[in-house]
Chain A
Amino acid sequence: MSEQNQQAVVRYRNNFLKEVETRVEDGEWVKMCMQCGVCAGSCPFGPHWEHSPQKIFMMIRAGKRDEVLSSDSMWMCTSCYNCIVRCPRKLPITHIMHGLAHYAHRLGMAPKGQPTREITRLFWNNLAKTGRVNELKFSLALYFKDGFVQGINNALAMKGIGIGLMKARRLNPMELLGGHKCMDKDGIHKIIAKAREIEERKQGYAT
């Protein structure tokens, strides 16, 4: 169990709802769910969830901490916002799912190797480096995340698409050598580091 996770367990004892309300984006909305199930029926990846948002909300209230944080459900969110616009109680469900996924990831509780967890890590690190996303480096990092041999196989499997995009001038091999970036990338590093520090201070990760 990660140190941050241990601290959270001690800090919130059996009150997982309180933990979510304090530490998860828009978590204070969870108690407003009336269990109608419209979110579950509206999700494009509905058939693939282990637990629907509605179930996740009830599990949070029931204190099922490990089950919620280790669920792969939040990672199935495509950010289509269907659940948000349809929720009769106007819960910002998409944001809560993002918040839960981030929190589980931060505590080291999210499922290992979960593919969407992997791409969010690669994507954010890619953009945080120069301030702008380098699509070529992102795609390559994704192909090679499970090692060199697998990476070559993945890249070969997708080579038709890659060549097609290059011909259409929508993928530039020169991006590998540097590519687009913000002039003030150091400033962006500072902003992100500071924001993270403030968030950790506010949510009591440090103590």
Chain B
Amino acid sequence: MTKKNYAFYPGCSSQKGASASNFATSIGVMCEKLGIQLNEIPDWNCCGASIGYGEGGLLPRMAINARNLALAEHHLPGQDMVSGCPACWLSTRETAEKLHESRSLMAEANEALKEVNLNFKGTVKARHIVEVLVEDVGFEDMKAQVVKPLEGMKIAGYVGCQTNRPFGIAGESFENPQYLDRMIETVGAEPVSGYDQKVTCCGGALAFSEPDKSQKQIRDIVESAYDHGAELIVTPCQLCQANVEIYQSEINKKQGTKLAMPVVYYSQLMTVAYGGTLKQAGLNGHVIQPEKLKQIASRQK
């Protein structure tokens, strides 16, 4: 298969030993099977995430994101820049669009980049891996690689915020996007219908600063998955995954609930369905064990 090349922006949480390191592991088999070649942008930096704004302000944020865009443009010319993390994608795309719309902002960002002899021309397109899957690969080709359909699994597709808003996947609605459910179907599992917390906010970075308020959101997200008969939540977002998985034990401790709903990435479902091992799917990276998925991964066929 001829591979399609992309400039890859992993983001801080996908580094070795970081909170989404199992996501980074799990995209290996998926990309290999689908002919996606991810070329890491040399010496990329943090995007500022969705919480850096308070201290960072506008231009410093735009400037550090422009550094990544300029590095991609320089080292990996002609390739779309692809992020696995919605916050990275959002910051990068927002920067690219703001600089494109304002000549003065572009000049100012480049004045800052001149400090390190970089220059951003504005030719790079900032995309999310899910866009690559849906738009460049397509559901049929995603399905064609399935060797181990996840039959009998009922899964709640939790899209969350930033993969969905403000940009989202082209052609999808903000209130009830369908692509994640379709991806669940593609790997042979059943997406639960009527999951009303599909695009609810998990609290984001405020899970740190406003734990009680955020944990109320998380409880709703998990309980609705139970109510709709799901045995697993799947999400495209690193922070959603971490927040919704990790804080269930805190909620149980404080509120006497018995939540234990595993939360995984779409890429883990795909890796297992494509015949990848438990380790290749990053399924050893969970606090709440996705037992059924692990069993399927360990099965020979």
Footprint of B on A, CB under 8 Å?
Answer: 25, 44-45, 48, 75-76, 78-82, 84-86, 94, 98-99, 101-102, 105-106, 115-121, 123-125, 127-128, 131-133, 135, 142, 160-161, 164-165, 167-172, 174-175, 180, 182-184, 187-188, 190-192, 194-196, 198-199, 202
Contacts and interface: CB of A to CB of B under 8 A. Distances in A.
Contact of B54 (A124, A174, A195): A124
Nearest to A127: B46
For the complex of A and B, list the 5 residue pairs with the smallest distance between their C-beta atoms, beginning with the closest: A120-B54, A172-B17, A124-B55, A79-B50, A81-B165
B249 A160 contact: yes
Nearest to B214: A78
Nearest to B208: A119
29 contacts: A44-B201, A45-B213, A81-B166, A82-B165, A102-B54, A115-B208, A119-B209, A123-B51, A123-B55, A124-B52, A127-B46, A132-B12, A133-B46, A135-B12, A160-B249, A165-B19, A169-B17, A169-B285, A172-B17, A175-B17, A187-B116, A190-B116, A191-B113, A194-B63, A194-B112, A195-B64, A195-B112, A198-B112, A199-B57
Interface string B2-20: 0000000000110111111
Contact of A195 (B108, B165, B206, B285): B108
B73 to A, nearest CB: 16
Contact of A116 (B115, B201, B210, B242): B210
A175 B12 CA distance: 13
Interface string B54-74: 111111101110010000000
Contacts of A175: 17
Given A25-B58, A180-B12, A123 B205 contact: yes
Nearest to A117: B54
B60 A196 contact: yes
A121 B54 contact: yes
Interface hub of A48, A117, A168, A171 (most chain B Cβ within 10 A): A168
Given A80-B162, A120-B51, A160-B249, 4 more contacts: A44-B217, A124-B52, A133-B49, A135-B13
A179 B163 CA distance: 28
A171 B19 contact: yes
A73 to B, nearest CB: 13
Contacts of B204: 78-80
B12 A80 contact: no
A106 to B, nearest CB: 7
Contacts of B201: 44, 78, 80, 82
Contact of A101 (B54, B60, B161, B246): B54
A121 B51 CA distance: 9
Contacts of B292: none
B59 A127 contact: no
A5 to B, nearest CB: 16
B250 A161 contact: yes
Interface hub of A120, A121, A190 (most chain B Cβ within 10 A): A120
A76 B57 CA distance: 17
Interface hub of A25, A135, A142, A194 (most chain B Cβ within 10 A): A194
Nearest to B25: A169
B247 to A, nearest CB: 8
A188 B111 contact: no
Contact of A194 (B45, B57, B111): B111
A161 B46 CA distance: 24
A116 B112 contact: no
Contact of B20 (A48, A120, A170): A170
A198 B108 contact: yes
B229 interface: no
A191 B56 contact: no
A153 to B, nearest CB: 14
Contacts of B121: none
B109 interface: yes
A101 B206 CA distance: 14
B54 A194 contact: no
B45 A85 contact: no
Contacts of A202: 108
A180 B54 contact: no
B70 to A, nearest CB: 10
Interface hub of B49, B209, B284 (most chain A Cβ within 10 A): B209
